[in-house]
Amino acid sequence: MKRDMELVRAILMKMEDCESAKAPKLALEGFSPEQVGYHVLIMMEAGLLVGVQTKEIDAEPSARPVRLTWEGHDFVAACREEGRWQKTKAVANQIGGMTLDVFKQILTQIMLGQVSDLV
């Protein structure tokens, strides 16, 4: 399964909007439960959120989110603004994809540019 940064963003934003400490059931329009579960699992591995693996080893890998990490909150803060998100995706498309770390760095650079324009 391919990593989908739109789904990563959607999961993080949904988690941030959750008003309860109880882990939400994530049903995201346009994405299957398998896609969501797999992305939660790899986001746990990347340190964006804390979750619980929900499938046995011989089944489709999946996880359920519990909460965002500090890193997850930082990523949401960087990608929340739609214009910044679209610019970052455009750069990723131009170079044929990128790692999560580079994606975060580009988001941060665009954000810093926006801050510089204000001061």
Give the number of other Cβ atoms within 10 Å of residue 62's Cβ. 20
Give the number of other Cβ atoms within 10 Å of residue 117's Cβ. 7
The string of pLDDT tens digits covering residues 92-114 is: 889 888 899 999 999 999 988 88
119 token code pair: 């001061």
The string of pLDDT tens digits covering residues 38-59 is: 999 999 999 999 998 886 666 7
pTM: 0.87
